[in-house]
Amino acid sequence: MADKIYWKGLEEKNQLISFTESESKEFAENLPVVGSAVDAISTKGNTNRRDFLKMLGFSVTAATIAASCEIPVRKSIPYAWKPEEIVPGVANYYASAYFSAGEFNSILVKTREGRPIKVEANKQSTVTGHGTSARAQASVLSLYDGSRYTNPRKGKENITWDTADKEVKAKLESIKAAGGKVALFTSTVASPSTKAVIKDFIATNPNVEHLVYDAVSYSGLLDANQQSFGVRAVPNYQFAKAKVIVGVGADYLGSWLNHTEYEADWAVNRRVSKANTAMSKTFQIECLPTTTGFKADVRVPVKPADEIAALIAIYNIVTGSSAAGALQNAKVEAAAKALVAAKGESLLVCGSNSVHAQLLTNAVNSALGNYGTTLGFDRPVYLKQGSDTAATALFEGLKNGTYKGVLFYEANPVYNYAKGKELSELISKAELSVSFANRLDETSSVTAYVLPDNHYLESWNDIEVKAGILNTVQPTISKLFDTRQFQDTLLTYSGQTVKYYEYMQKNWETNFYPKQTKYTGFWAFWDTTIHDGEVVLNVAPTATTAGNPNLAEAASVLADSVKGYGENQLKIYESSVIGDGTHSDNPWLLEIPEPVTKVTWENFVMVSPKFVEKNGLQPDLEMKDYHVIKLKAGDVELELPVVAVPGTPENTFGVALGFGRTAVNHDLLKVGKNAYPLLTSGLDIVGNVTWTKAGKTEKLGITQTHHNLTLKGLGGTRTRHIIKETTLEEYKQNPYAGNEDRADILEHLVTLYPTHNFPGHHWSMVIDLNTCTGCNACVVACNAENNIPVVGKDQVVRAREMHWLRIDRYFAGSEEDPTAVFQPMLCQHCDNAPCENVCPVAATNHSSEGLNQMAYNRCIGTRYCANNCPYKVRRFNWYDYAGNDSFDKKWGTGNDAGLAAYQLGMREPLTRMVLNPDVTVRSRGVIEKCSFCVQRLQDAKLTAKKDNRPLLDGEAQTACQTACPTNAITFGDRNNKEAAVAKLFNEERAFGVLEELHTLPNVMYLTQVRNTDKEAKA
Amino acid sequence: MTNLYWWSNDRINKKQGISLYSLAFTALLLLFSTLSFSQAPDPADIAAGKALFKANCAACHNPTQNGTGPALKGVLARWEAAGDYKGKTGKQMLHEWIRNWNTPVKEGYPHAIEMSNWSPSQMTLFPALKDDEIDKILLYVDNSDVKPAGAATAGAQGAAPAAETGAKAPAMAIYLFLGILVALVVILVSVTSKLNNVLAAKNGEEVKLSTPFWKSRKLLATLIILATIFVFYNLVDGAIHLGRQQGYQPAQPIKFSHQLHAGKHKIECQYCHSTAAQGKHSNIPSVNTCMNCHKNVQKGPEFGTTEIAKIYAAAGWDPDQGKYVNEPKPIEWVRIHNLPEHVYFNHAQHVNAGKIACQNCHGPVEEMKEVYQFAPLSMGWCINCHRNTEVQFANNNYYSIYEKIHEELKSKKLDKVTVETIGGTECQKCHY
């Protein structure tokens, strides 16, 4: 394994000049920066002696004037009446829940002085108790979004709630009187109390019909379960109980259903140690590369239609049928055999939205006897309830005049319904159209009325994730704007005077309180539930009735469809970071590199490297220019840049959903193209696509080769091992497998210089490459915790992203069928740090607790440290991103006005409310980097001191660690021999990246172990 | 460079203003006391009554103002005027009321019934009070505004800070005086030398016309060097002090005196600044904390009701009705201790974990009528303290993990553990 060659991207694999240069370079671009202040003064683009003197003179004068300015008077305004639970400077945490677009996270909301600033995982939750998703982490930013509706609106005008209520009520009445119908169009409502509110509303307005749809639909899966078991719900998947998992186009570690829960469950059987070498075996059959595919032991790249053919093959082998259209593939066969071998402890999941495909999947899991162990309806999952017919019903109903009015709640069909454009015209013609959106979106910009809902962090609600598992949502800030909770609005229109909070309480008292035995009083039950955020009720397993679906017909329908897709096939997928597009107006998310492709800020056409080569579409990597093609599928044409991604089969195209939003806060957020119009059939595969060159290029910010660690050791040979990998078989025989060279490296670490002492703590981190799925939750958590600025696409293209933590992705093997490893890369806090020696002003130095410290106020911006850092984790502030420089705020510079951060509102007082007050906002011209969340360490230490006790292991946690859904990150004090991190640090699998440079990193990685065998390799 | 600070004049003026005010106030008090001395009750009895009043009644009553209980001045006269009832005089009824207010109410004494409806809160029972003690309390209540002879000392105290700020003025005068002396010497020397020359010329001796001293190159060089040193010293010194505000004493919206509250009345710092031991910030008390006492204390010794009225305005409290009538609004205090934004300072770390007294950094607050910034709050000042201050090494179990240092302490290799010993002067202890 040791001689395996890893490559970050095709540039590296093919050793292009631009890549080899970037390895040795600190920054992607040469100085000076075009358009900078220095540049503006000089005439020919270079500064001469006179300019220097001018600048010097100006600086001295400016400094003198600044110095003689009056020191401003600062007010210190206490609370008029201090709430008892608030201690200024001490954070409060409130249990709540994030539920959006079918994604659920049980969370704790960290508030400072009544202001939510961070989302943490609710570790008590039985569903997502390990971590959070990237989108849940980013949701706190949308609370402070500049595009939030501040008032109820009629057209573009702000109106009062009284006027709005009067007019909407009158319209509802007149439609009712005329015998017309009104549609209440929502995405999945997982809240039982909200459902009750809707029921009440329909009771008083019987002409209202509730239509439920999901932008990314699981209708096929739900309908199949209705047919197979008489239950229209998602089964309760238990990945932790599965010894063999086969995924067919289901990205269950990235975007499929409630992936945060599945990631944690999957990780249970992937955490190997000498004591426990039991490991699940996972197969992933997929057309487009996903994190699930690359984490799988066996990845089977097939064309989109062949995913279906593979499913038929598995069905045939497991059930002994001989349906036509099965894919002939040794790996698929192996997967099916593995499923059979692990009967009752295996799991097949399929990502297709075809009822027929899901019927076969159910049949396979039934035949394997998996129901009741790895999946089942003991507690059905209620996170997706939508039906594909809902949107069509609305469309037709509005068209033929059945629906005179329409109300939209958490629904944006104008954007995410295939016929959204026509729908928007129908909406504007409807007698009554109301949107309850809390911020600008495509649908609310065409409805006659907008009655803004509260943000979820300002609301009361409940969410039934699974039958009997209820989560509560509680407000963590009082309303920022003149908004009203959707449920309160509906209650008003039902003629009820009760507030939703009281309504919800009543509902709980009558329906849920009797279903538990722990508490004898309702208030004790209620208060504890609100405090804990989750309650598990005693409910009987949902009764299933064995249906008798026609499997033979299903298989033949599928076989026919496979044939019809033709040569060029397009797969429309959900990006694991952006999701269905509800949150693609969130700058934090847009700047996150998508885990597999590492593309930021855009969607694109994913193709195979061969395709690019064959058609002369190679990008200009120096200028970051990518060729744009026109992709035609049916009547829809999309113009998108082409990106070659290893592992994509030939003649396969992939386009991500969630981009191309048009009604967002700023033009800079209008990125990519909307792929929803392609989803006309409800299925994610479109056959017979054609393409032509658009004859132009587009710049893309692809971070995969931005911060390259050089693999070249002494003598220029590529001998350094950044990634270490082994197989389970080898690991069982030798725990040092894949890590054999470490002993030799450690032996050669000698120094003449004195070493550091760590008398108290010695902070260290261990990252398990085996359980890291590259999901990016840690990156967003780090952004939120450490006030990391958004720089915008333009700056990412210049390799100036500011993320302190990035996830490097290394490929190995062939371009057609590579394997990949995800490696979170952050400051390694080297105990012999190369950066510390070169700082001329000692702004970066080592602490007695093993931290590589960075004093921003001391930094003069020479960037020597970044130049000397072998891990390339130091980031330079090219601009004043957060707007903390008073000069800029008053006068600004022409240069900064075009800055994305400025335009995206990151400098607005509203958005700045998200900043963590315990972390300095860095100014222009200084270096910054990961601090191991020193503010959290100091806080934990202080808590221990106040309690007069030693610090406990696991008490000090970094933001990335708490966000990780798979517990891949362990952090703690290595001096404490009992600490988890101390034990892992000395494990056989532990290795430091570039350890041979004698940097003595405080971050260790555990080797990736794959459960592959010879059979699958062949 | 110090004259760049915008507040310097303000500070001096304000100090003087206060002292004048307090002098006038003292004079008024003296005048008042001489007038009221004509009633001449026994001062010893009044003093005893005052002590009893403070111990038992002052929590709810004020002699001259309504608080939780009614204003008590003239209470005896009022009860006596209410007349006898069932063979008991008004005074006896009052005594019974004070010991247990239920007794006269049950008996049906009309004035007692009227008074029992004065406020919804019930009066505490004082069964242990003896008749003579009650008499003394009542005597004090009627004579509470009579000041004992020593009252004038308050004025003297008020005037004291003015002298302190005046210290800079004499220094200037001395420099001016020295300057004049030097000028005189120079003039005299030159005159003497001129006269000598004239004398020499008269005597026919050869006159040695020495180069005048201001044309001496040596002197010129010395002067230039001195001037350069002076300018650079001041530049560097000024740059170092840039943004520092030691001595900063802005005018506050309410003339709140720490001298009175923390000094005279010995109220614990953390009674008001209650979060200092818990969190990063030591809070400025919200107005409800003020109201805990000032519902009753309606008049201050120095400004009377004017300043306390500002608290009431902020709290929305109507002292006449004895209840909150308006929405409270916060008092906008001027922040005195300003740290740069890149400095992290945590009060709990110092007050709770470090057991540092507030005065270490804030100075003798209990002597400050108006708070000023005592310490320079410079990095050098912080570091110095971190170098010299011992941590609670033996007393706090948190430090038990520092095994090596504990051993060194035991073997006397180390005589003390300062903040610096355990890394308290490293950058990321305060900058992150």
> What three-state secondary structure class fits A564?
helix
Strands A461-466 and A469-473: antiparallel
Same domain, A862 and A967: yes
**CB atoms closer than 10 angstroms to residue A563:** 12
Chain A nearest CA to B18, separation (Å): 22
> Which B residues, 3 through 42, put their C-beta within 8 Å of a C-beta on chain A?
4-6
Nearest partner of A441 among A585, A322, A313, A604, judged by Cα? A585
Note whether residue A41 is domain-resident: no
Q: What is the pLDDT of residue A855?
A: 92
Q: Among all residues of chain B, which has the CA nearest to that of A89? A: B280
Residue A596 to residue A809: CA distance in whole angstroms: 7
> A932 versus A745: which is more confidently predicted?
A932
Predicted pLDDT at B20: 42
**In a 3-state reduction of DSSP, which class is residue A765?**
strand
A684-706 pLDDT per residue, tens? 888 889 999 988 999 988 888 77
Per-residue confidence (pLDDT) for residue B46, from 0 to 100: 83
Q: Answer whether B284 sits within 8 Å of A761, measured CB to CB.
A: no
Stretch A193-209: mean pLDDT: 92
> ipTM of this model?
0.84
User: Residue B396 is nearest to which of A82, A90, A945, comparing CB atoms?
Assistant: A945
Question: Is the pLDDT reported for residue A2 higher than 50?
Answer: no
Rounded to an integer, the average pLDDT of A337-354 is: 91
Instruction: Report residue A715's pLDDT band, with 50, 70 and 90 as the boundaries.
Output: low
SS3 A107: strand
CATH number of the domain that residue A332 is part of: 3.40.228.10
| CB-side neighbour CA atoms (13 Å) of B397 | 9
The mean predicted confidence, pLDDT, of chain A is: 87
For residue A481, tell me if it sits in a domain. yes
Nearest to B280 among A89, A856, A920 (CB): A89
Amino acid, res. A735: P
Q: Which of residues 953-992 of A touch B (CB under 8 A)?
A: 973, 975-976
Q: Give the three-state DSSP class for A3.
A: coil
Cα–Cα distance for residue pair A795/A33, rounded to 1 Å: 12
**Pair A848, A757: CB distance under 8 Å:** yes
Average pLDDT over residues B380-386: 92
User: Does residue A420 share a domain with residue A518?
Assistant: yes
Cα separation of A374 and A258, whole Å?
15
Q: Among candidates A363, A756, A735, A752, which has minimal Cα distance to A546?
A: A363
* Boundary-marking domain end, from A367, A400, A434: A367
Q: Which two tokens stand for residue A850?
A: 């093993």
Distances (CA, A) of A488 to A163, A452, A504, A990: 16, 11, 11, 55
Instruction: Please give the interface size between A and B, counted as residue pairs whose CB atoms are below 8 Å apart.
Output: 160
Q: What confidence tier does B146 reach under pLDDT thresholds 50, 70, 90? A: low
Distances (CA, A) of A268 to A263, A272, A863: 9, 9, 42
pLDDT confidence of residue A274: 85
State the pLDDT at residue A888.
47
Best A942, A955, A958 member to test B by mutation, with max B CBs in 10 Å, is A942
Please report, for residues A743, A999, A1007, B156, the alpha-carbon distance to residue A749 in angstroms, rounded to integers and kept in the order given.
Answer: 10, 9, 21, 74
The verdict on residue A119 lying in a domain is no
Stretch A134-140: mean pLDDT? 93
Q: Tell me the residues of chain A between 913 and 952 that have a Cβ less than 8 Å away from chain B.
A: 918-921, 931, 934-935, 938, 941-942, 944-946, 948-951
Q: Residue A210 is encoded by which pair of tokens? A: 């509730």
Percent of chain A with pLDDT over 70: 92
Mark which residues 222-281 of B lie under 8 Å from A by CB: 238-239, 242-243, 245, 250, 275, 278-281
Q: Are residues A345 and A492 in the same domain?
A: no
The answer as to CATH 3.30.230.10 being correct for domain B42-145 is: no
Number of domains making up chain A: 4
Distance spanning both ends of chain B, measured CA to CA: 31
Q: Are A794 and A831 found together in one domain?
A: yes
> Is B288 touching A (CB cutoff 8 A)?
yes
- Quick one: A30 exposed, middle or buried, by C-beta within 10 A (0-12, 13-18, 19+)? exposed
Residues A74, B335: C-beta atoms closer than 8 Å: yes
- The rounded distance, in Å, linking the Cα atoms of A324 and A317 is 12
Q: Using DSSP, state whether A644 is helix, strand or coil.
A: strand
Residues of A in contact with B239 (CB under 8 A): 67
Check residue A881 and give its pLDDT.
Answer: 81
Helices marked H in B41-109: 43-56, 75-81, 90-99, 102-107
pLDDT tens digits for A826-857?
A: 999 999 999 999 999 999 999 999 999 999 98
Per-residue model confidence (pLDDT) at position A201: 92
Interval A471-479 mean pLDDT = 93
Q: Which of A394, A375, A125, A420 is nearest to A257 (CA)?
A: A375
Alpha helix positions (H), B255-305: 258, 269-272, 287-294
Give the closest residue to A456 by CA, choosing from A944, A946, A193, A100.
Answer: A100
Residue A44 within any structural domain of the chain: no
- Domain membership flag for residue A63: no
Asked if A833 and A978 sit in the same domain, the reply is yes
Q: Which of A30-39, A545-554, A986-995 has the lowest mean pLDDT?
A: A30-39
Angstrom distance (rounded) from CA B376 to CA B361: 9
Taking only the tens place, the pLDDT of each residue in A64-82 is: 776 666 667 888 888 888 8
Cis peptide before A32 (omega within 30 of 0): yes
Residue A461 is which amino acid? Answer: N
Three-class SS of B339-359: CCCCCCCCHHHHHHHCCCCCH
Q: Are residues A678 and A733 in the same domain?
A: no
Q: So what's the pLDDT on residue B34?
A: 42
Between CA B379 and CA B382 the distance in angstroms is 5
By Cβ distance, the residue of A89, A848, A950 closest to B400 is A950
Give strand ranges (E) for A553-686: 569-573, 599-600, 605-607, 625-633, 636-644, 652-656, 685-686
Please write the tens of the pLDDT for every residue from A263-284.
Answer: 999 999 999 888 888 899 999 9
Q: Across chain B, what does the average pLDDT equal? A: 80
B169 band by pLDDT with thresholds 50, 70 and 90: low
Q: In angstroms, what separates the C-alpha of B163 from chain A's closest C-alpha?
A: 27
Question: What distance in Å separates the CA atoms of residue A945 and residue A162, rounded to the nearest whole number?
Answer: 54
Model confidence at A102: pLDDT above 90:
no
- As a residue count, chain A comes to 1018
Q: What residue numbers bound the domain in which A870 lies?
A: 6-26+707-750+760-1010
Residue A307 CA from chain centroid, whole number? 25
Considering the domain architecture, whether residues A690 and A729 belong to the same structural domain is answered as no
Which among A187, A149, A990, A78 is positioned nearest to B334, based on CA atoms? Answer: A78
Could you give the count of Cα atoms lying within 13 Å of A414 in the half-sphere of its Cβ?
Answer: 23
pLDDT score recorded for residue B36: 42
Let me know whether A482 and A601 are in one domain: no
Same-domain status, A721 and A845: yes
Of the ranges A873-877, A895-899, B89-93, B130-134, which is most confident? A873-877
Q: Are residues A686 and A713 in the same domain?
A: no
CATH code of residue A942: 3.30.70.20
Task: Residue A935: name the closest of A137, A112, A98 by CA.
Answer: A112
Which A residues, 64 through 93, put their C-beta within 8 Å of a C-beta on chain B? 67-68, 70-71, 73-82, 87-90
Sequence-distant (6+) residues with CB within 8 A of A113 are: A86, A88
pLDDT at residue A1 is higher than 50: no
Of A82, A931, A944, the CB nearest to B398: A944
- Label residue B392 exposed, middle or buried (CB < 10 Å: 0-12, 13-18, 19+): middle
Q: Are A374 and A244 in contact (CB under 8 A)?
A: no
Residue A415 pLDDT exceeds 90: yes
More confident residue, B183 or A715: B183
Is the pLDDT at B101 greater than 60? The verdict is: yes
Find how far residue A664's CA is from the centre of its chain: 19
Considering A367, A396, A414, which residue would you say is the last residue of a domain?
A367
Q: Are residues A206 and A255 in the same domain?
A: no
Q: Can you tell me the mean pLDDT for B114-133?
A: 80
- A28 band by pLDDT with thresholds 50, 70 and 90: low
> Using one digit for the tens of pLDDT, what is the confidence trace for B262-279?
988 889 899 999 899 988
- Whether B388 has its CB under 8 Å from any CB of chain A: the answer is no
Same domain, residue pair A960 and A817: yes
Q: Quote the distance between the C-alpha of residue A594 and its chain's center.
A: 9
